[in-house]
Every structure is written in structure tokens, then in C-alpha cells.
Amino acid sequence: MNVPMAQKNQIIEYRLLVQPAYDETLKKNGILFLIETAKQFTNFSYVIDVNDTVEGTQVVWILRGLRAPSMNMPATGTAQFHKIYFDLPKTIQFTLVKKGKIKAETEFTTLKTSVRSTKTQSTFLKIYTDQNEFQTKRVDDIVMAEPKPDIVREPSPEKKQKTKKTKH
């Protein structure tokens, strides 16, 4: 996929993979949409909370924030959300809306074995239509989390005063 020059020089916040997929359970072809944060988290893994709607040729994702997954196992990595859509039109308009109603918009044309992205307008989203490229470019796109320093807190002034009062 050719990435527009303006998109190459900007810090991305999200990466989006769109590609044909096959659902083994339903025995049906669809289109996989997978979004992940460019930021990597060190202590917990998160799920991106997405409110999605499909109306005609419009697919709209509204990002509502991050939430902890249902499993309480600690993990590191990016926050993700994915969904397979079935029976979409051949050409769709995709809109991603993040906090502050800032939008990324693109048009996808689906073929039997591939997806093409055209007319992309985004300052925060990088789009991939090939899983191998999505995986290999992850190192370049991901912002590694910085280790957090250990914080030692002093007791509050009220506690200091209470400990000083002693009766003899």
C-alpha cells in the first residue's frame, strides 16, 4: 500500500488493518477490520472500546476509550479491537472518530482476495490492507512505553504531625 507523504511524517495514534477474512464458524466470507493503538502498554493489555454503525455504504467507528479485557491476566502490548463484517457493499466509506470528534476518513474497495484503500484523509490513522505489511511495519509504527520510575511518597503533613505527638 502506498502511504501518502503527509501521513509518513506524522505521529500516528492508531493502525488499521482491513482485509478479506473467512469465518470458520459461520462458513462465510467477510471483511476484517482490526484497529490497534500505536502506543504499547507495559502493565496491562487493553481493549479499544468502539461504537460501530453500518448504514448502506457507510461504516462508522466511534472510539470511546480503552477498557480492561474480561480476563485479569497482566499482559503487555497494544490495545486492539477487531470485527468481521459480512455482506458489505463492494465500495464502502469508512469513518473513524476519536475524542474531540476528530475524524479519519477513507474509501475501501473490496475484491475477492484483497482490499484497496483510496481517498484517505487522516492525521492520526495509518491504514494497511495487507497483514504481512501490517506485521512487519509494527516495529516502525509502535511507540514503546517508557519504564515508569518507582514513586516513594512522603506521608501527608497530617500524618507527620500525628506521629510527632507522643504522651510521656
Average pLDDT over residues 103-126: 92
Average pLDDT over residues 114-125: 90
Whose grid coordinates read 493489555? 45
- Residue 146 vs residue 20, higher pLDDT: 20
Range of the domain at 154: 5-164
- How far apart (Å, rounded) are the C-alpha atoms in residues 132 and 6? 23
Percent of the chain with pLDDT over 70: 79
Percent of the chain with pLDDT over 90: 58
Q: Which of 9-23, 63-77, 126-140 has the lowest mean pLDDT?
A: 63-77
How many domains does the chain divide into? Answer: 1
pLDDT of residue 5: 41
Cα four-point dihedral sign 107, 12, 60, 114:
positive
pTM as predicted: 0.79
Q: How confident is the model at residue 114 (pLDDT cuts 50, 70, 90)?
A: very high
